[in-house]
Chain A
Amino acid sequence: MEQTPKNLDCRNYAPVDVAKGFCHLRKEIVLADGEACDAFEQLPKCKHCAKYTPGEEAYLGTCAASPTRPMTYPDLIGVTCEWFSWKET
């Protein structure tokens, strides 16, 4: 079942710290784990990438962008990743 998106998964969320961040749209501090609003825009993360394969251990996976298929993790942000491409849903 698809989980409800959180604020920290949103492109408009600027993380102040591990618990909260600034919402550029609402212009206010919001909790990182708070439920995202209707204007939610997905922040690219490894778990959304076509090259990502989940691993057997929690919070770990692999990246197919490199021939060695290095370890990566689902919540690694992909904004600056040259290999990121959205997974087809």
Chain B
Amino acid sequence: MSKKLYQVLQDSGVPLDYRSCGTPPEETTDREVKREPTPRAGKLRDLYYQTLSSAGNEFPYWYTRKYMELDGEIPVVRRALALKCAFSHLTPTIFPGELIVMGKARYYRGSFPMPWLSEGYYMSKEDELYQAALDKGSSSADEVSKFGSGGGNVVRNFGNVISIAGKFGIRQEEVPAMLRVARAWVGKSVDDVGHKYEQMVPGYDIKEAIMKSVVCMFDSGYTLPQGREVINHYYLLQYGFDGLIVMAQEERAKVAGRADGDGLVGMNRLYNYEAVIHVLEGIQTWVLNYAREARRLEAREEEPVQKEEYRNIAECLEWIAHHPPRTFREAIQLCWIVHVAVLNEDAISGMSPGRLGQVLWPWFQQDIEAGRITEEQVLELLECQRVKFTCLDCFASMGVVGGVLSGNTFNNLSLGGLSWEGAPASNRLEELIIEAAINCVTTQPTLSVLYDDKLPELFLLKAVECVKTGAGYPAFVNNRVAMEFLMHHYGPEDMNLEESRAIAIGGCLETSPCSWMLLTLNGKEYPIPGGSGQPTSVGVHFISLPKILELVLFDGMDLRADLRVFPSHGKRLETYEQLFEQVKTYFARAVEVLSLANNIQHDIWRKNNMAIFNSLLKPDCLERGHLINELGYRYNATHNVETCGTVNLVNSLAALKKLVYEDEEVTLDDLREALRENFGFKTATEVGSYSLVDQEKKGGGDLYDRIHYLCLTAPKYGNDDPYADSILKEWEDWFCAICYEYESLNAWPYYACQISVSTHAPMGAATLATPDGRLAGTTFADASLSAYPGTDRNGPYALFTSATCWDHSKSQNSQMNLKIHPSAIRGAEGARNLLELTRAYMRKGGFHIQYNVVDSRMLRDAQRSPDQYRDLVVRVAGFTQYWVEIGKPIQDEVIARTEYEGV
């Protein structure tokens, strides 16, 4: 029988399931902190667990119908009217027990495609989907209940439900219309128009090869044109819908026909204000439609408590559809409406609510003081809000939703940090937000503590208590390092110290520029933070660093795809320096061609598909009369270069340097052959799995055992070993600097962004074996600074020293995941130890750390019996996800990570 990888590693003394700092208890240990939400939130969460991810056609139908009527209209007004029509026609659905209402679509966990961004997928699947729609369906409870495993993903057709990409279900009777709507966008979508022009970029053939060989993961211009940014609630909280409409009408009158010294886009302000008014009116109608539905339900309801709740919902919506909120309940509902409206405007992942506990503080403080609400009621609202956030789905292109995002939507809520004056900004409401996250563990919103030494100990210990639930949040983010990055990168756009203190995290881990806005409530002033930058989900996303190295070793050829990606470098790579230089050369070439093509895609997006609602929320669009496409935002230098597989690159370079160039234990040719032959293992395709644990040796595949052993035992990042760490430092110093040599369409430089999301699985799947001993097709190390599973053997502090050998403030982020056994942080002493561990990393200059508190044996059991673990969550890269909704390669990678038994 073929040997499995884990047996080979065990025999080599480098086992996969490595445990550091002790041994776990004999019995599988559950997480220490386990609480229950309020009955109301619990019921709503249970309903979520039973809910399938469902797509509808209402929004795309009405958007397309209106858009196509308006040929010849000014693009921004045309888009605004299409959005207005779509929002106005969404069917409202309210479920009993909900306190916070409204959603993306009429389903509990609803979403919809946006073919104006890209229709290619539907067209390529047109026949298949159409035939599926025509097939006579049947349905039964049995069929429905089969979909328990896989969470809410609709993994195949059943009954009258058609599966799209194994994720979303759509009703059979809506499919032909969905396809007809998609067809209307052929040649008009951002994807199609962008493709027409991006082909004019010199070297476009390289870009195509890069995408085919999965050196790069996706084009952001038509997949996720917005996101990984922080929303701004200020304008609607301060002025309300009516106030903003009046403001836009007044500004429209002031600028009509006037260039005011700007011959290029000065005149556009008229059309922009007109567009703003239409979109606000559309969203207002959407809110009022929900109010009417609440009134209808109230009229029919006989149960007095539920009847009153419908009445309260109606009254709340009827007020905030026009006016600024008066109470905490109205304010939290309005913030939710703003959030969903932004998400419905575009395909967005990572729209963060920002420092919501500080934004909502004025209403919380005044309502509590006046006795209008109790903390228990606030807690219940916060738990209900968690369920609403978790119901959000993102319907982007298929490879993005599955391969990159693992179905996550990354609504990151930031906590703590500093006030504009430099005082600790945490407050009682933020403690309740953490409490709600402890009671009601869900994937959204994820939480990030903006760590500063000034933050109160009790607040930080509350955060640690939440970590002990195993939810993977809050992540700890270094506030000082983030501010340094903002000051450095956005300094040329006038970012100053005070403003940098408004920082919040956008998406899973993107340091985002924010601003303080002075809110007035009942005559009292409150500076509240909110996003003021363009999306940071945009740019060159993601470049696979191990794949770049592979192309260097094989002279620009992708052997897996039998495809020439880069022109031959023709070098014999006789020195390590020559090798490393060629890695940089290919990387730079990839960024060059991808950034140019990307600029074109985003330019098409901003010309035809610009954000209107999100724009009007951001300073200083309303004041200037310019939206995102005319750089109306306060900060516009947000395009970045994202990488994946940093640690595998570093470990591979360390192995090459040591084994080939210094010790001459292996020739480069022999190593190349071993990589081509996957160190004597079968290919992942042959095994039928891309998971680490499933890899098997070929019969007679012992030829490369010696080389494989040398590669596995070569110096590795994560052990405070200067040999590997110096390579990481050289790479980071070069990479963070080189990004500034590329210019975005906004005429600002790119910068470095280092998160993996889920790309380490598909990118690993497309990469041969690597010189660090990793096998072909298997996942890379996750995040950017997590050690490769099982290779960090000197404890967490050695890992921290390795990780902080370079200046993290030169990059938008860096990412570190640690897996800790629940028993290692048990009790009050364990909590203090975890806080001290976190503090140690922050003080060393680490940007980010987060913890998976879990017994790996529980994860293995969850793989065997997924139905028993519907609510089990784990942390992957920068997000928390339900175990049953992530792919097996990522599951295996999480299991394989080093488990720390003590801290």
Contact = CB atoms under 8 A, between A and B. Distances in A.
A73 B96 contact: no
A18 B58 contact: no
Contact of A60 (B65, B92, B180): B180
A17 B51 contact: yes
Contacts of A8: 171
Interface in A1-40: 8, 12, 14-20, 22, 24-25, 27, 29, 31-33
Contacts of A58: 133-134, 176
Nearest to B184: A71
Interface string A31-62: 11100000000000000000000000111100
Contacts of B154: 18
Contacts of A32: 139, 160, 171
A33 B143 CA distance: 12
Contact of B69 (A12, A14, A68, A71): A68
Nearest to A60: B176
A25 B154 CA distance: 28
B603 interface: no
Nearest to A13: B93
Interface residues of A, number: 34
A18 B52 contact: yes
Given A33-B160, A58-B134, A77-B58, A19 B169 contact: yes
Interface string A52-89: 00000111100000101011111111011100000000
B95 interface: yes
Name the residue among A12, A15, A29 with the largest chain B CB count within 10 angstroms: A15
Contacts of A59: 133, 172-177
B144 A20 contact: yes
- Determine the interface band of chain B, counting residues with CB < 8 A from chain A: 35 or more
A31 B173 contact: no
B95 A18 contact: no
B106 interface: yes
Given A15-B106, A57-B176, A59-B176, A80 B171 contact: no
Contacts of B89: 80-81
Contacts of B52: 17-19
Contacts of B55: 18
B467 interface: no
A18 to B, nearest CB: 4
Contacts of B169: 17-19
B175 A14 contact: no
Contacts, number: 115
A24 B65 contact: no
A1 B90 CA distance: 31
B36 to A, nearest CB: 22
Interface string B271-301: 0000000000000000001000000010011
A6 to B, nearest CB: 9
B144 A14 contact: no
A29 B177 CA distance: 28
A17 B108 contact: yes
Interface string B21-53: 000000000000000000000000001001111
B264 interface: no
A18 B170 CA distance: 6
Contact of A18 (B61, B65, B94, B171): B171
B598 interface: no
A33 B173 CA distance: 12
Contact of B107 (A18, A57, A73): A18
B70 to A, nearest CB: 11
Interface in B56-95: 57-58, 61, 65, 68-69, 88-95
Given A59-B133, A68-B69, A73 B95 contact: no
A72 B64 CA distance: 11
A49 B114 CA distance: 27
B139 A27 contact: no
Contacts of B174: 59, 73, 75
A14 B290 CA distance: 13
Nearest to B53: A17
B356 to A, nearest CB: 27
Contacts of A71: 65, 177, 180
A16 B144 contact: no
B54 interface: yes
A70 B65 contact: yes
A31 B138 CA distance: 12
A18 B111 CA distance: 11
B107 A17 contact: yes
Contacts of B51: 16-17
A73 to B, nearest CB: 4
Given A19-B159, A59-B133, A76 B170 contact: no
Contacts of A74: 173
Contact of A16 (B47, B65, B69, B92): B47
Nearest to B163: A18
A19 B159 CA distance: 8
B458 interface: no
Contacts of B170: 18
B171 A31 contact: no
A14 B180 contact: no
Interface string B446-475: 000000000000000000000000000000
Given A17-B169, A18-B161, A31-B139, A24 B297 contact: yes
A81 to B, nearest CB: 6
Given A17-B169, A70-B65, A80 B91 contact: yes
A79 B176 contact: no
B159 A76 contact: no
5 contacts: A20-B50, A22-B95, A33-B137, A59-B174, A77-B91
Interface of B: 47, 50-55, 57-58, 61, 65, 68-69, 88-96, 106-110, 133-134, 137, 139, 141, 144, 152, 154, 158-161, 169-177, 180, 289, 297, 300-301
Given A15-B93, A15-B106, 15 more contacts: A14-B94, A17-B53, A19-B52, A20-B144, A24-B300, A27-B96, A29-B50, A33-B137, A58-B134, A59-B172, A60-B177, A60-B180, A72-B177, A73-B176, A77-B91
Interface of A: 8, 12, 14-20, 22, 24-25, 27, 29, 31-33, 57-60, 66, 68, 70-77, 79-81
Rank and list the top 8 A-B pairs by shortest CB-CB distance, nearest first: A73-B177, A17-B52, A18-B169, A17-B54, A33-B139, A59-B176, A18-B54, A75-B173
